[in-house]
């Protein structure tokens, strides 16, 4: 049960994920969280560095879908200028949005990775639905109210993994 909270891979940031390596592993799609995974939760648009990373992903022929629990206005404002598909009010960790993203990309689970900064939403949702999950360090040290509550629980889970030698990653 606790293994559902254990990501398959840890990276410091989205920028440590190499699109060429993903492609070499047969990855054709990315489902990614938005807030504190790609940019700070209160930053409305992508940074130039992130825009460049997205382009490198697209250059490898990898599709991207942003799956966020946030509202339509937030996710649409961020995603549309980048021409990236998105799903808002995803209700992660429930699987509905993950399956919808998979159908929209016309890919199977083995061809898609899930990237996020939260164990209780992104990792749990991705693992429960059979995806390769990648946990990244949140890009901001502040969070919204509900995320702050999740972080308290996540900290306990991550500490448990660290004690058991399952976590080889430092924040």
* pLDDT tens, N- to C-terminus, the chain (171 residues): 678 999 999 999 999 999 999 999 999 999 999 999 999 988 999 999 999 999 999 999 999 999 999 999 999 999 999 999 999 999 999 999 999 999 999 999 999 999 999 999 999 999 999 999 999 999 876 666 666 777 677 887 877 877 887 776 554
Distance separating alpha carbons of residues 29 and 138, to the nearest angstrom: 22
In the chain, where are the structural domains located? Answer: 2-163
32 backbone φψ class: left, alpha, beta (φ>0; ψ -120 to 50): beta
Taking the C-alpha atoms of residue 140 and residue 143, their distance in angstroms, rounded to an integer, is: 7
CATH superfamily of 2-163: HAD superfamily/HAD-like (3.40.50.1000)
Say what the pTM is.
0.89
Residue 58, C-beta contacts closer than 8 angstroms, at least 6 positions apart: 64
Closest C-alpha among 138, 109, 107 to residue 126? 109
Q: Where are the alpha helices (DSSP H) in 36-71?
A: 48-59
C-alpha span between 31 and 105 (Å, rounded): 10
Q: What letter would DSSP give residue 119?
A: I
């Amino acid at each position: 049960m606790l293994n559902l909270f254990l990501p398959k891979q840890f990276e410091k940031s989205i920028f440590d994920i190499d699109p060429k390596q993903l492609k070499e592993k047969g990855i054709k799609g990315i489902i990614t969280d938005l807030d504190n995974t790609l940019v700070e939760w209160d930053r409305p648009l992508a940074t130039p560095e992130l825009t460049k990373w997205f382009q490198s992903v697209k250059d490898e022929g990898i599709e991207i879908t942003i799956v966020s629990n946030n509202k339509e206005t937030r996710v649409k404002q961020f995603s549309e200028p980048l021409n990236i598909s998105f799903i808002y009010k995803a209700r992660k960790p429930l699987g509905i949005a993950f399956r919808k993203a998979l159908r929209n990309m016309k890919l199977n689970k083995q061809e898609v990775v899930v990237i996020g900064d939260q164990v209780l939403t992104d990792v749990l949702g991705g693992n429960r639905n059979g995806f390769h999950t990648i946990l990244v360090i949140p890009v901001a040290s502040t969070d919204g109210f509900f995320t702050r509550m999740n972080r308290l629980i996540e900290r306990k889970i991550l500490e448990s993994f660290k004690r058991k030698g399952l976590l080889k990653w430092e924040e």
